[in-house]
Amino acid sequence: MPATAETPKSTDTGDSAALALRVATREAHQNAERTPPMQALSEGQLDRAGYHALLRAQWPIFLHFEQAARRWLDDDVPAAGWHYRSRLPALAADLGDRPDMAPLVPRLPTHDADACWGMLYVVEGSTLGARLLSRQLAALLGGHSDDFRFYTLGEDEPARWPAFRRVLDAQLTAPQQRARAIEGAHAMFAAFHYQFRHWQAHG
């Protein structure tokens, strides 16, 4: 995932689950953008040590999500027509080791399938935004964008995003399902916000 859970601009209609999620989580997205590491990145003040701290801050989120929701990711998501790509190998490759598992607060509601779709919406949307961050990081820290494997996961995301929106629409048809998905999206944003507020502890 990128440094923040960035939701892309949407051309969805009012009946779109993705648009409902985007509108409901707009403030949470903006709060994540205002955290110290994202401000440091946008102001050109993020050094390589800070970049590694930023990656380490995200490790517990993906580790918890992918472990706790493993059966859903392996069974339900492919059955719905989507393929989830684990973020852990790219994170570990960029860090050069296996980061320690730091406590994650708050916990993610991976017990609920609809909430999981909301969390996955944040993850996949942020990957779309990461393709821009990879170039920004390469210019800021030196090297090629390929050196930032985690942030180049989204290079093909523009073509994937419309397909993901269609999957969301098919899976989240009832108002109560979308409400639970919005709760899940808020939980994922809250996890990123917490980790980013404490990012220097992961340096």
Give the start-to-end residue ranges of the domains of the chain: 17-202
Q: Please, are residues 188 and 123 in contact by the beta-carbon 8 Å criterion?
A: yes
| CATH number of the domain located at residue range(s) 17-202 in this protein | 1.20.910.10
Q: Compute the distance between CA of residue 146 and CA of residue 86 in angstroms, rounded to an integer.
A: 18
Q: What confidence category does residue 148 fall into, taking pLDDT thresholds of 50, 70 and 90?
A: confident
pLDDT over 50 at 171, yes or no: yes
pLDDT of res. 99: 65
pLDDT of res. 192: 92
Looking at residues 105-126, what average pLDDT do you find?
Answer: 92
Q: What confidence category does residue 7 fall into, taking pLDDT thresholds of 50, 70 and 90?
A: very low
pLDDT in tens, 158-170: 678 889 999 999 9
pLDDT of res. 98: 62
Q: Compute the distance between CA of residue 7 and CA of residue 125 in angstroms, rounded to an integer.
A: 5
Q: Compute the distance between CA of residue 22 and CA of residue 24 in angstroms, rounded to an integer.
A: 6
pLDDT of res. 6: 43
Looking at residues 126-150, what average pLDDT do you find?
Answer: 74
pLDDT over 90 at 136, yes or no: no
